[in-house]
Amino acid sequence: MDGINRVRCGRCREYFRYGDKVFLDYSYTIMHQHCYIPLDVIIENGTFIQTLKNNPCFHELLPLQRLK
């Protein structure tokens, strides 16, 4: 699975892919790093999937783990 097609960038409005490089700002808006405006206060940076994993408020967006 390459992306979830449920979350869009707060700036360009494109859907995120799990490997996209993103910033999370103080108001919990996720944006692509290339969409960043220096006026924003960044609280986290990394890939989209890392940001989802690191913030419990986004855990419902994580891909489901298959049981073996």
Nearest one of 3, 9, 5, 4 to 22, comparing CA atoms: 9
pLDDT tens figures, 37-65: 888 788 999 999 999 999 999 888 887 76
Rounded to 5 degrees, φ, ψ at 57 are -70, -15
Percentage of residues of the chain with pLDDT beyond 70 = 88
The rounded distance, in Å, linking the Cα atoms of 49 and 54 is 9
Residue 67 confidence (pLDDT): 45
Q: pTM value?
A: 0.77
Neighbours of 51 (CB within 10 A): 21
Going by the DSSP 8-state scheme, the letter that residue 58 receives in this structure is: G
